[in-house]
Amino acid sequence: MKSAFIADFQDGQTVATLFLVREKEIRTSARTGKSWLRVALADRTGTIEAKMWDNYTGLLETFACEDIVRVRGRVKLYNNAKELTIEQILIAVETDYALDDFLPHTKHDVEKLFAQLREEIAGVKNPWLRKLLDSFADDPECAVKLKRAPAAMTMHHAYLGGLLEHVVSLCGLAKHITQHYPEVDADLLLAGIVLHDIGKTQELSYSRAIGYTAEGQLLGHIVIGLGMVQRRIDAIPGFPKPLAALVEHLIVSHHGELEFGSPKVPATREAVLLHYLDDLDSKMAAMRETLGQTAADEMWSTRNPALRRNLLNVQAYLNPDQPKPKTVPAPRDQKPSGGLFGTQTSETVKKS
């Protein structure tokens, strides 16, 4: 089993433990002509650059990206970042590891999160929406994916169980917002919350690394999710067509703008609320992740990719005893790219 994690590595430490291979390549110095093996190694706590300088040619065909390998090496600091000098690298035996050690995952108990979701669904009064939501939650295969799927690749909740955590968080926000705006159909909004990102259970792959499936690359989670929901609705005899259209509209409009990947812009109270609640929760989760990785005495975080800016560590700012802060890097905001249904949209634009 894995004995040490990247987040705990110290300069000068000798390590002998297991990693997931994220990247693998041979690099050559243009100045000296010397070549070396460069790999990016990961576990659930992060990623570390690793280099093997000698005797690596015979190892190149023994492992590939997304393999689990056993590495012996020494940690050192290079340009203020930790990297690993590899002495030995061997393919790991499958019985020696648990995959959850190599992918980041929610800090919450997924079974408790799923129980919370079931409780929210149980409170839905509209019988048609209740049947629709139950058809997903009662499906064992769908339930497994809901408990494991990330909500995104990089922007927010980008870890195992992230999608379920995001959905349950939105359910909590919806309780407050529907009390403030009683004219909102609470059942319809909840249906949109549960189903708006259901396509991500099939858009993303998350067995050994978080990435896109072929279907995800071709279609994106909005199109995939719409198809999933339409098939479930078709399987419920008598499901009202106008209600089906409202549910489908929540899915296709939840990114809020055409330029951010929504085929339609929100046109109902519930759709507008879903868009802004989704955007709020994704942004706050991304900020929590970035600031959580910022040292207590650092005033500015690294650049947050979701907001395209550095974030102020307020506690460090308010504490007059903190050391002098680092200079804020110059902003490099760029207009996001992505097509109407392109999967790049969910990772490069303002939300997903």
- pTM reported for the whole predicted model: 0.75
| Residue appearing with tokens 């000068």 | 12
User: Do residue 93 and residue 179 come from a single domain?
Assistant: no
Tokens of 347: 């990772």
122 within domain boundaries: yes
pLDDT for the residue 4: 85
pLDDT for the residue 326: 52
User: Do residue 115 and residue 202 come from a single domain?
Assistant: yes
User: Do residue 114 and residue 73 come from a single domain?
Assistant: no
pLDDT for the residue 299: 87
Domain end among 244, 266, 285: 285
Domain end among 233, 256, 285: 285
Q: What is the extent of the structural domain holding 23? A: 6-99
pLDDT for the residue 93: 83
pLDDT for the residue 45: 83
319 within domain boundaries: no
pLDDT < 50 stretches in the chain? 325, 327-352
pLDDT for the residue 223: 95
Radius of gyration of the chain (CA): 23
Tokens of 242: 């106008």
Distance, CA of 186 to CA of 129 (rounded, Å)? 11
How many domains would you assign to the chain?
A: 2
Domain containing residue 168: CATH number: 1.10.3210
pLDDT for the residue 324: 54
User: Do residue 123 and residue 91 come from a single domain?
Assistant: no
340 within domain boundaries: no
Domain containing residue 44: CATH number: 2.40.50.140
Phi/psi of residue 75, nearest 5 degrees: -85, 140
User: Do residue 133 and residue 207 come from a single domain?
Assistant: yes
Distance, CA of 193 to CA of 63 (rounded, Å)? 41
User: Do residue 214 and residue 151 come from a single domain?
Assistant: yes
pLDDT for the residue 206: 77
